[in-house]
Structure formats: C-alpha cells, structure tokens
Amino acid sequence: MAAYSSSLTVLLLLLHVTAMSMISMGVAGSYGQSHRYKAIYSFGDSLADTGNLYYDTEKLSASHASCLHLPYGETYFHRPTGRCSDGRLIVDFLAQKMGLPLLKPYLGIKNGKIKKDWKAREGVNFAVAGATALNSSFFIERGILNIATNYSLAVQLDWFKHFLPSICNSSSDCKKVLGSSLFLVGEIGGNDFNHPLFLRKSVEEIKAYIPFVINEISSAINKLIHLGARTMIVPGNFPIGCNVIYLRIFNTTNMKEYDEAGCLKRLNELAQDYNKKLRVEINRLQRLYPNTNIIYADYYRAALPLYHSPKRYGFKTIQNSCCAAGVNNGSRCPSACHDPSHYISWDGIHLTEAAYNLIAKRIIKWTFRLF
C-alpha cells in the first residue's frame, strides 16, 4: 500500500511538472490566451492576406479585386478589409490565440494609410492575394501568362528586410526580437499550381513545378533564420480537389475521378505529393538548424474532414457549398447564401470564416503541442 501511495505521489508530481511546463510553453489556457510569442510575421497569398491587396496602389492582383468589396468581410468586420473571405482567416485566429492584435498589412503601413494603432514588434503581414512562391518570370518562360501579381515570396521577403529597422535597431536586437516572434511562411505555393490549372495544364506538368516551389520556400526559411527567426510554421496545401471552382472546371461524368466525398482524386493527389515533399524539406532544414523550430502545419489533414463529413460540422455538402454568388463574374457560386456559417467554401476558392475557424483550431492544437 505504501509503495502504491509513493508511486501515486510521484505520478501526480510528474503530471504537475508537465502541466506547468506546458503553461510556460504557451500550450495551456483557453483559446486565445497563449503569450509565448510576442509577434507574428506572416508571408503568403490570399489565404493569409489581411489587407495588402486592399492597400496596393497598383492593384496588380485583378483576379482578386472582388475581395475589396462586399459581401467580402460581411461576417466579422462588417466591411471589406481585403481578406478573401466573409470574415477572419487562419492567421487572424492564430493572432487571437496568442493574445495579439490582428496583423496590419505592410502596404498599408508603407503607403501611410495606417498611421496609428499598430506596433511593429507585435507583427506585420506581408502576404498578398494572388501571390506565388515563384517569381512571375518562371511562369512566363513556360507560357503561363495569367499571373496576376508580381508579389512573390522573394518580394515579400525583401519587404520584410526593408522593414527590419522599424522592428529592431541592431543585429543583436534583431536576433532577440525575431527570436521571440512566430513566422508564418505560407500558405504559399498554392497559386503556383492554381494558375496553370486554370489554363487546363496537365497534373503531370504541374508536378514538375513542385521542386522549384519547395526550393523557393526553403530559401526563404534559410534567409529568415539567418536574420534571427527561430520559430516558423510552414503550412502545406489544402485538398484542392474539393474546391468548388475545380469541381466546376474539371466536371466529368467519369465517377472514378471522384472520391467518396465528391472531390477530384487527381487534384488531391497533387496536393498530397506537394505536401509530402515539403515535409521532407522541412525535416532536412530542421536537422540543419537544430536550434530552430520549423513546424509543418497540415492544412490538408485539418480541412479534409469538413468535406468528408460536412453535416457533422454543420456544413452543407461540397456540391452546393459555395456562398458568395455574384462575385468574380458569378462563375464560382451558383447562388448566394444567407448564412455563411453553414458553408465550407466562400467563393469557390477561398473558405468561409466558419471553415477557417475549425481548421485553425486543429492547427493550433497540433502545432502548439510541439512548442
């Protein structure tokens, strides 16, 4: 009996130490109460853009121009903010999880449109709707001329370097500040596949782009580490075969092309192939930089259950799960919806705030467990 009591005491002590360690690492607490990281610096495309397109004086990303008008932003902000959704994005939920303000867009700061209510050391967003990981010259050389923006990952990284003096004032200061910040490197690379898919390029041809996309992301991670970054979240691609726009573009009577949820198998296999190779590269970089945390965010695994079991999460099936009718020439959504919270897809490509919320909760749960 004494031995049992002693073992129980040791077990309780271990549980207490573990719990206290998790709290110090920013894991414990209710949703929105993690304070380990003092800032988020975000790079990516429309899945993470919190307003750079909105403040872009040249409006290069014409294909995303509808994101600047209602009904975009109607749910949470009650006005368009440049976010390509009805409300918040994954990066917004991540910032709220960390107890930080929603990220201000770099171009709004640069152009003097955001003069107050922002602190550089609380984070800045460099993501732009329509952005690719690769420079536009890569696509032009391959006859893909529908690239809507030149704000590639390399351009966004250059913006960050020019912005550094606003964040820190010396090399040692930068190492300290950036070391206590969280870097969201993506989602980026999705448009590198979207643009050729819109032109009906074959999946086999697009798979040949994967190493180039991953090399560009890897290069960005290397540069951020040398600038002082220590913790990076690198998301993979979503199950793009479930996107409403692709279900419309690649509609076929051959039922073998679809999985049990009605998603296009070959496009999901493309995303899976990319994600697998991205994870291999992230693991290589982690071994190369053992004093950093380079964390893969599995957007694919987080999103797939919404499509496979939509009713379980309060959503309609993907075949009619599209909400923002009348935008983008009305080519994506057959009819408008009254309540976006019951839909996975917002406009055929981007998701609703309700879908992003569920995905963000999964990513936060899986990711913060590793910190």
- How many whole angstroms separate alpha carbon 46 and alpha carbon 328? 15
Per-residue pLDDT, averaged over 284-297, amounts to: 97
Q: How confident is the model at residue 235 (pLDDT cuts 50, 70, 90)?
A: very high
Pick the catalytic residue from 34, 46, 152, 181: 46
- How many whole angstroms separate alpha carbon 13 and alpha carbon 140? 62
Give a yes or no: residue 31 inside a domain: no
Please check the confidence at residue 366 and state whether its pLDDT lies above 70. yes
Give a yes or no: residue 123 inside a domain: yes
3-state secondary structure of 132: coil
State which residues form the domain around 199: 37-368
> Residue 231: in which H helix or E strand, if any?
strand 231-235
- pLDDT at residue 115, as a whole number: 77
Number of H helices, E strands in the chain: 14, 6
Nearest to 109 by CA among 66, 50, 193, 154: 50
Answer whether 0.85 is exceeded by the pTM.
yes
Which one has a higher pLDDT value, 156 or 348?
156
Count how many domains the chain has.
Answer: 1
Annotated active-site residue 350? The verdict is yes
- Side chain identity, residue 340: P
Annotated active-site residue 46? The verdict is yes
Task: Judge whether 231 and 371 are in contact, CB under 8 Å.
Answer: yes
Task: Judge whether 5 and 118 are in contact, CB under 8 Å.
Answer: no
- CATH number of the domain enclosing 170: 3.40.50.1110
Give a yes or no: residue 1 inside a domain: no
Q: Which long-range contacts (CB under 8 A, 24 or more apart) does 362-366 make?
A: 362/301, 362/302, 363/90, 363/94, 363/235, 363/297, 363/298, 363/299, 363/302, 364/31, 364/93, 364/94, 364/97, 366/297, 366/298, 366/302
Give a yes or no: residue 25 inside a domain: no
Which one has a higher pLDDT value, 116 or 7?
116
Give a yes or no: residue 8 inside a domain: no
